[in-house]
Amino acid sequence: MATLFRRHKGRCHDHFKKFETFEEAAQCPFQQMKLDNWIKCCDLFASPEYQALNDLESGVSYDTSTLTCCLYRVPGTIREINGKKWYDPRVVSIGHYPFNKHERLQTIQKHKRKFYSILVSKAGKSLDNLMEIIRPLEAQARGFYSEKIEFESDLEDDTFLKMLILEGCFILELFRGSPYLLRGLAIPHFYGDLLLLENQIPFVVLETLFDNTKKPDDQDPLTFLALRFFNKVMRRSVEDLKKMSQHLKDSLHLLDFVRKSFITPDLDQPPERKNSETVPVIYCITMLLKDGIKIKLCEADSFLAVKFNNGVIEMSKITPRTSSTFTNSYVGKNSEVVQFINNLGKEMDVETDQFYLYNFFGNVNRRYKSTYHAHWTGLKHRYCNTPWSCISASAALVLLGLTFLQTYYTIYAYVNPK
């Protein structure tokens, strides 16, 4: 039956949809089903939602986080391609990451308690107060992780809640930028560690702690404080930070928060296309340049803003200030840079329904495949590549014109003699 489920998975979308719930599908005898309805039933029973429902009814312990999670372990294939060290924290561990796994991570653990003590002292709160505030979010927070978060003493002293509070208070004080607390800490290394996928806690926890510990005179929202913290490597104006902070309140975690800060509202729109169309693959820049397509640097709010007008690709300048690979690997060859860029897309799936470069890729490819532009660009590249070749081509055109005129007047004199 599992083989049939997999075979027919996804084929029922163009068929008549009779069953809308699991109960309707379960009550219909198999012998009375038509093929289309049977395929639909297979899809329902093979879905993760039904498997979860079946496990709950049978008393099997089921991890509901698999349905709502947004924090995963980095796949082993990606670690092998780009190197394992780029996905592990170097200075600070956040969340359930085992800080005792590496000795270098234990130093900051001591500072976290100092950050926590100062925050609760300024806010006039106790650990019990904060636990009662965060406790309603426990189930939601656990659902963010793709695996169960368990501690040996979790059932006895709410270790998971204490972990969220400790990490949250540490991050909040880090964002507030207390000079006394930040003195002597390796802050430049924090930027990369706080943006690791496995080094996150839910953003809703940070928002809740911030709202319940801020002073009455605190005017800046959490989103602005977070943007200001990461702005030391992103170099944005204060006006841009204030504008961005208004639409970043629904972030999942800090990595998602920073990702959304690069997406302007005009980029966050699904492309207009038919469902049957696939995402086109754009040709490499070397082939595009040979075909006459040019690249022009322009000013934009986001480096993701790329436009194509009249054969010219307009894009903003990218300065790799935050990439550890560029700054620490001492890349000295163009081939190494190309290999790094190519590895960024390996083992990655493109969400075709939300791919904002769909129209851009299509327009560039249509221009590249145009016969007229291809021949015209080939002629310019062949005869106007250097000043001497351009002069030679011009002389040849003049000679061709004179030859044409000589032939014309010869024929004209023969046809119309005086």
Gap between the terminal Cα atoms of the chain: 98
Q: How many Å apart are CA 79 and CA 347, to the nearest integer? A: 10
Is the domain of 114 the same as that of 55? Answer: no
Question: Please, which pLDDT band fits residue 183 given cuts at 50, 70 and 90?
Answer: low
Is the domain of 221 the same as that of 291? Answer: no
Could you report the per-residue pLDDT of 365-395, keeping only the tens digit for each? 888 877 666 666 666 666 666 777 778 878 8
Q: What are phi and psi of 401, to 5 degrees?
A: -65, -45
Res 57: pLDDT: 45
Select from 260, 311, 307 the least CA-distant residue to 290: 311
Res 382: pLDDT: 66
328 within domain boundaries: yes
Res 373: pLDDT: 62
| Over residues 394-413, mean pLDDT | 86
Is the domain of 325 the same as that of 418? Answer: no
280 within domain boundaries: no
Question: Please, which pLDDT band fits residue 56 given cuts at 50, 70 and 90?
Answer: very low
Res 208: pLDDT: 95
Q: Where is pLDDT greater, at 73 or 418?
A: 73
Is the domain of 87 the same as that of 220? Answer: yes
Res 186: pLDDT: 63
Q: Where is pLDDT greater, at 192 or 22?
A: 192
- Residue after which a domain boundary falls, among 22, 38, 62: 62
Res 52: pLDDT: 47
Res 311: pLDDT: 85
- Residue after which a domain boundary falls, among 246, 261, 276: 261
Select from 166, 173, 167, 300 the least CA-distant residue to 226: 173
| Over residues 270-291, mean pLDDT | 70
272 within domain boundaries: no
Is the domain of 191 the same as that of 55? Answer: no
Is the domain of 351 the same as that of 405? Answer: no
Q: Where is pLDDT greater, at 269 or 221?
A: 221
Question: Please, which pLDDT band fits residue 166 given cuts at 50, 70 and 90?
Answer: very high
- Residue after which a domain boundary falls, among 334, 350, 372: 372
Is the domain of 148 the same as that of 235? Answer: yes
14 within domain boundaries: yes
Question: Please, which pLDDT band fits residue 247 given cuts at 50, 70 and 90?
Answer: confident
Least confident window among 48-52, 189-193, 195-199, 389-393: 48-52
| Residue found by looking up tokens 């009550």 in the block | 27
Is the domain of 114 the same as that of 252? Answer: yes
The rounded radius of gyration (Å) of the Cα atoms in the chain is: 31
Could you report the per-residue pLDDT of 258-267, keeping only the tens digit for each? 988 888 766 6
109 within domain boundaries: yes
User: Is residue 25 predicted with pLDDT exceeding 80?
Assistant: no
113 within domain boundaries: yes
Least confident window among 27-36, 297-306, 319-328: 27-36
Alpha carbons within 13 A on the beta-carbon side of 169 = 28
Is the domain of 235 the same as that of 175? Answer: yes
**Mean pLDDT of the residues in the chain:** 73
User: Is residue 14 predicted with pLDDT exceeding 50?
Assistant: no
Side chain identity at 3, as an amino acid letter?
T
Question: Please, which pLDDT band fits residue 252 given cuts at 50, 70 and 90?
Answer: very high
Looking at the 3D structure of the chain, how many domains does it have? Answer: 4
Question: Please, which pLDDT band fits residue 3 given cuts at 50, 70 and 90?
Answer: very low
310 within domain boundaries: yes
Q: How far is CA 242 from the centre of its chain?
A: 22
Could you report the per-residue pLDDT of 62-111, keeping only the tens digit for each? 444 445 688 888 888 777 776 767 788 888 889 876 655 677 788 888 88
Q: How far is CA 19 from the centre of its chain?
A: 36
Alpha carbons within 13 A on the beta-carbon side of 281 = 2
Strands 312-315 and 294-297: parallel
Global confidence as pTM: 0.66
274 within domain boundaries: no
Select from 136, 134, 116, 144 the least CA-distant residue to 202: 144
Res 254: pLDDT: 93
Is the domain of 238 the same as that of 330? Answer: no
User: Is residue 397 predicted with pLDDT exceeding 50?
Assistant: yes
Is the domain of 120 the same as that of 225? Answer: yes
Res 131: pLDDT: 93
Is the domain of 144 the same as that of 167? Answer: yes
Strand partners, 145: 71
**Long-range CB contacts (within 8 A, 24+) of 133-136:** 133/208, 133/209, 133/212, 134/161, 134/164, 134/165, 134/168, 134/205, 134/208, 134/209, 135/161
- Quote the domain boundaries for residue 400: 384-418
Q: How many Å apart are CA 248 and CA 254, to the nearest integer? A: 10
- The tokens describing 101, both together, are 């796994």
Question: Please, which pLDDT band fits residue 46 given cuts at 50, 70 and 90?
Answer: very low
User: Is residue 315 predicted with pLDDT exceeding 80?
Assistant: yes
| Over residues 325-346, mean pLDDT | 61
Res 41: pLDDT: 44
Q: How many Å apart are CA 367 and CA 371, to the nearest integer? A: 9
Res 200: pLDDT: 93
Res 231: pLDDT: 86
Burial class (CB in 10 A: 0-12, 13-18, 19+), 200: buried
Res 380: pLDDT: 67
The edge-to-edge listing of strands for the beta sheet with 306-309 is 294-297, 312-315, 306-309
User: Is residue 182 predicted with pLDDT exceeding 90?
Assistant: no
Res 85: pLDDT: 72
User: Is residue 292 predicted with pLDDT exceeding 60?
Assistant: yes
Res 265: pLDDT: 67
Res 215: pLDDT: 84
